[in-house]
Structure 1
Amino acid sequence: MTASPTPPAALSVRQVLTLERVLAGEPEVVAGADRLDRPVRWVHVAEAPDVGVMLSGGEMVLTTGVLLVGDEAKQAEYIRSLHRAEAAAVVLGLGRAFPAPPRAMCRTAERCGLPLVVLHRPFPFAQLTEEVQSRLVRHKFAAVSLSETVRTALTALITAGAPLQRLLDEIARHSGCPVVVTNLAHRVLATAGERPAVDDVLRDWERIARQAGASEGDGWIRAELGGRGERWGRIVLCGHRGERAAGRLLADRAAEALVLHRLLGGAAHGWEEQSARSLLTDLVAGAVPARQLLPRARAAGLPVGRRTFVPLVVRDGDPARLESTLRLLGLPGLAAALADGAAAVLLSLARDQDATALTEHFAGRLRQETRTAVVAAADARTDWDDVPAGLREARHVADAVAGSPAALDLPAVVRLRDVHLRGLIRLLRDDPQVQSFAERELDGLLGAGDDALLAVLRTYLATGRNKSRTAQLHHVSRPALYRRLEAIQTRLGVDLDDFEQAASVHIALLAHDAQHR
């Protein structure tokens, strides 16, 4: 990454005029009063009429104007030359040369927008120079010290393998304001800072992103993220209230750290996927009200106004492939990995679109690419507040069919009505009485630890006790299957040809599988 040049720390003209030594000279702003927030980079005492050629910009020029007396044209040109040199301000000490503010200088300074300050009492310029220069040096040292402190802290976190969020929390702690990381399309990838302040930023993010992208002001400081000649994002300090130079240094150090973090593999799954995972995980957990997550969803690029939301959970679905399928089909949505090999997908469709047909289309396309993928869906929601319950329902359905025998014919999109008894048993899996029932019914097999016979039993019951289909799926002959079924019945002490006994064993097996997944 090529870091932007960092300006030295500076005081503003307004701040200089409030210094105790300056106030003793009774300063009066006679022109350019609306430009007093200009930064003062240095203080320069000069009486030469052509002092402008010796300046490099940002200086506060102190003069008595002794060489300008009696020549209004020279006075005007003096102001114009300072304006061309981008001086911060001019301070004129009134006295023998000018007992009152010279009109020509005042008119020209106002026209140029250059602050002109007069001192009504005699004032040793050396004192002002010493005061301002010492403050500037202290400010610059403090900014550089802060920069090194932040660099050291972030480098230590990266070396320790800290996640992206930990780095951002550290940056927010030093900056004292919300921190936002976006891609080049202004989609929010990560945030840090006090939650209420961050939510305020995200609530109006579209306008703020345009504002921050156009210019920096009011403490909005951004730094580009990228490397090897390619930009891929930016970090924004939102409303930094400290010295601007310090904020600039913070943003640059933060950008360097984030680029290094990404290069070292901190973004193995992609920051976009991490952002989606954080949001979808919070929605599934339900610990935070959905309404509070709405700004994050909007800032992450998910359309949320007057939409139909379809919550999905996909088994054996790679988040990158899910995102690719969404883009290929032109479906707005988020996808991210959850725990236990599942991935969540939240579709956001226009109200006039056929949610059922588009969900089936998405699932069909996914099954073409990944034969083992199982797409579980909840009914579509039109109220954002209902999305968390929908995601939990889809997760329940996906978990209920997890590990189902291949013989169990599943539709392209599995819904609650498709999981029947399996879904009910999963809901009751943590009940101690259900656990006791499962152990008691299956004790003959569980005690022996015979997983092969358990697998045969699982397939035999799932296929409706179809011996031919079970033998085919386990690649054994019919006589071999009969011997295994006989062994199962002997160990369990049941007759699998009896419907009630077979149903009891089936329920116990479903409970056992639900408890151990």
Structure 2
Amino acid sequence: MTIDLGTAQPALSVRQVLGLERVLAGEPEVVAGADQLDRAVRWVHVAEAADVGVMLSGGEMVLTTGVLLAGDEEKQAEYIRSLHRAEAAAVVLGLGRAFRAPPEVMRRAAERCGLPMVVLHRPFPFAELTEEVQSRLVRRKFAAVSLSEAVRTALTGLITAGAPLQRLLDEVAQHSGCPVVVTNLAHRVLATAGERSAVDDVLRDWERIARQAGGREGAGWIRAELGGRGERWGRIVLCGYRGDTATGRLLADRAAEALVLHRMLGGLAHSWEEQSAQSLLTDLVSGVVPARQLLPRARAAGLPVNRRTFVPLVVRDGEAGRLDRVLRLLGLPGLVAELADGTTAVLLSLAPDQDADALAAHFAARLRSEPGTEQLVVAAAGARTVWDDVPAGLREARHVAEAVAGSSAALDLPVVVRLRDVHLRGLIRLLRDDPQVQSFAERELDGLLCAGDEDLLSVLRTYLATGRNKSRTAQLHHVSRPALYRRLEAIQTRLGVDLDDFEQAASVHIALLAHDAQQG
């Protein structure tokens, strides 16, 4: 992606030119086109000829004394029409030499064309104005090119260093001084950067604002398309940029250029949509950011949040892409993201009249019907009707998933596992970091842990998890009953316990659950 600086030069507006000290000394008065004063002035040109338009290329502020127009109203009208056809920014008429008052023919023609017309009531050396504006334009162009190259250098360095998308956007936000938003073509927010409160203000009503803005730029909203090889897949938006539009567009284009390169080099292992969902759900689970502050991000990410029922789910060893496909297949709105601990979180957003438990079970059953997913454990928390309760629900679902980790084959679990289904295992999982619990586990299992016999530990684990069912244990370990008896006898000898005694067996079971929780 390259930028033609010849068409992206930073410019002054007509209003800014009229506010210059040298211009104010000439007592300027806007007599036509007052609603067009924000037009960009690309250059200043002094011209008297009636057919001045043939000498212009657009964006010029034309200065004239009107000496060649006096006494000929048709020439006066044609002069204005010629400027309009050439897309001049404005016309400035110095009174005194040819006209003592603004010529009505020129004023009416300018008003009809929407061309700003300004008269200077005091004599004014046009050379001074030309020099002032040209020098300011050159300085602005140089500053814009310097900024462009500084941004390009910084972003290229970050990409070379393997920086994540968020780091690139933070750099863009620092240079632009305003919130930066990356969206897909459906206006769904994929990533943001900038001062948190300012970003939240932008996202609070994002969909309406984004669609209302449409393809237009204005009020500091600068956008650049993202895509390559003839295909568009998103856009970057500078929201409320306070500099001039041309510089903002230059900055947005540089940012877009870097984001396209970042996406191409980063591959498709994790799309920006997945990264967006991951960031949001990770922040919800961690509780570092209050849930209420995350609500604008969730809404902007496309998650329905008004009058909804939220169902937090966590799946161990589930691929985020597969879970997302199942959601889409079932037509269930929600977010899917892999968390740092190897689990995948799913947050369903359902209408109040939908059966949350039934739909969660339907999702789990459909997921486990796919090849290679039969042993996946889908853990769920109770449905939440208040957004602020969602983080606790996600943590509860993750806790349930952790509580049955590695033991699903030996347990008779429902298709969706909840807190009430994990019983003692869930309690031990919560207490796993307690030093006294750790000491108890080591003491009870010392005979097996010191020997490092993982085979006997596995047999003991299955035996206790199945309620001391010898037939089931032998079947799961593919051994005969006599072989199982010998292993159970070896376990009892090493631990110095009688597994037929309920209290001793319960004590060993609790110790093993604690040991597994600590190791997990």
Fold equivalence (TM over 0.5)? yes
TM-score normalised by structure 2 residue count:
0.97
CA distance in 1 between counterparts of 2:388 and 2:21 reads: 58
Residue 450 of structure 2 is aligned with which of 447, 450, 455?
Answer: 447
CA contact (8 A) 1:310 1:348 kept: yes
Moved more, 232-241 or 257-266: 257-266
2:253 matched to 1:220?
no
Tell me what 1:460 maps to. Answer: 463
Alignment of 1:69-468 (within 5 A): 69-265=70-266, 268-369=269-370, 370-404=373-407, 406-468=409-471
Shift of residue 271, structure 1, vs aligned partner? 0.8
Structure 1 residues 396 and 322: CA distance shift in structure 2, 3 A:
same
| Paired residue secondary structure (1:57) | coil
Cα drift, residue 115 of structure 1: 1.1
Question: 1:405–1:325: structure 2 CA closer, same or farther, 3 Å change rule?
Answer: closer
Equivalenced residues, count: 517
Q: CA deviation at 1:348?
A: 0.6
1:513 aligns with 2:483: no
Listed one character per residue, the Cα deviations across residues 239-263 of structure 1 (whole Å, up to 9, x for unaligned) are 1001111110110011011110000
- Greater CA deviation, 37-46 or 445-454? 445-454
Q: Give the whole-Å Cα distance in 2 for the aligned partners of 1:255 and 1:346.
A: 31
Q: Deviations over 1:34-88 (max 9, x none)?
A: 2111110011111111111111110011111111110111101111110111101
- The answer to whether the Cα contact below 8 Å between 2:182 and 2:191 also exists between their aligned partners in 1 is yes
Task: For 1:436, give the aligned amino acid.
Answer: S
What letter matches 2:95 in structure 1? L
Of 146-155 and 424-433, more deviation after overlay is shown by 424-433
- 1:104 shift after superposition: 1.0
Q: For residues 147 and 68 of structure 1, do their structure 2 counterparts lie closer, same or farther at Cα, with a shift above 3 Å needed?
A: same
The separation in 2 between residues aligned to 1:468 and 1:4, in whole angstroms, is: 78
Equivalent position of 2:24 in the other structure: 23
Write the distance in 2 (CA, Å) between the matches of 1:211 and 1:56.
Answer: 32
TM-superposed CA distance for 1:340, in Å, is 2.5
- Tell me how far apart the structure 2 counterparts of residues 400 and 2 of structure 1 sit (CA, whole Å): 54
Could you say which residue in structure 2 is the equivalent of 1:477? 480
Letter of the structure 2 residue corresponding to residue 416 of structure 1: L
Q: Distance in 2 between matches of 1:472 and 1:271?
A: 46
Question: 1:422 corresponds to which letter in structure 2?
Answer: R
Distance 1:476 1:3, change over 3 A: farther
Deviates more, 1:20-29 or 1:340-349: 20-29
Instruction: Give the 3 Å change call, closer, same or farther, for CA 228–2 of structure 1 in structure 2.
Output: farther
Distance in 2 between the 1:320 and 1:4 partners?
Answer: 40
Q: Is the 8 A contact 2:377 2:408 kept in 1?
A: no
Q: 1:110 to 1:70 in 2, by over 3 A?
A: same
CA displacement 1:445-493 (0-9 Å, x = unmatched): 1112221211111111111112222122112222222222122111111
CA RMSD of aligned residues (A): 1.3
AA paired with 1:30? V
Residues 283-303 of structure 1 show CA distances to partners (whole Å, capped at 9, x for unaligned) of 111222211111111111011
Q: Secondary structure at the match of 1:264?
A: helix
Question: Deviation at 1:118?
Answer: 1.3
- Residue 303 of structure 2 aligns to which amino acid in structure 1? L
Counterpart CA distance in 1 for 2:17 and 2:109 is: 22
Alignment partner of 1:498 out of 482, 498, 501: 501
> More displaced, 153-162 or 469-478?
469-478
The Cα of 1:425 is off from its aligned counterpart by 0.8
SS of the counterpart of 1:67?
Answer: coil
The amino acid of 2:377's aligned partner reads V
Given residue 415 of structure 1, which amino acid in structure 2 is its aligned partner? R
Contact 2:375 2:409 in 1 (8 A): no
SS class of match (2:224) = strand
When structure 1 is superposed on structure 2, of 104-113 and 153-162 the one drifting more is 104-113
Q: Deviations over 1:96-152 (max 9, x none)?
A: 211221111111112211111112222221111111111111101110110000000
Secondary structure of 1:403's partner?
coil
Structure 1 CA distance, aligned partners of 2:333 and 2:291? Answer: 19
* Gapped regions of structure 1 (runs ≥ 5): none
Counterparts of 1:267 and 1:130, CA distance in 2: 53
Q: C-alpha deviations, 1:406-448, integer Å up to 9, x for none?
A: 1212111001111011011111111111111101000111112
Q: What is the DSSP-based 3-state SS (H/G/I as helix, E as strand, rest coil) of the residue aligned with 2:369? A: helix
| Residues 163-184 of structure 1, C-alpha deviations (whole Å, 9 max, x = no match) | 0000000000000000011111
- 1:488 matched to 2:496? The reply is no
Give the aligned residue type for 1:281.
Answer: T
In structure 2, what is the Cα distance between the partners aligned to 1:232 and 1:177? 23
1: distance between equivalents of 2:57 and 2:408? 78
SS at match of 1:507: helix
Local SS of the residue matching 1:75: helix
Q: Distance in 1 between matches of 2:275 and 2:357?
A: 28
CA contact (8 A) 1:405 1:458 kept: no
Question: Would the alpha carbon gap of residues 344 and 419 (structure 1) be closer, same or farther in structure 2, given more than 3 Å must change?
Answer: same
Distance in 1 between the 2:171 and 2:267 partners? 16
C-alpha distance in 2 between matches for 1:191 and 1:4 = 27
Identity, in percent, stands at 87
Shift of 1:2: 7.4
Question: SS at 1:313's partner residue?
Answer: strand
Q: Secondary structure of the residue that 2:451 maps to in structure 1?
A: coil
Deviation at 1:4, TM superposition (A): 8.5
Summarize deviations over 1:486-514 as a string: whole Å, max 9, x none: 22111111111111111100000000111
Q: Aligned partners of 1:143 and 1:345: how far apart in 2?
A: 45
CA 1:412–1:40: 2 relative to 1, 3 Å: same
Superposed displacement of residue 3, structure 1: 6.3
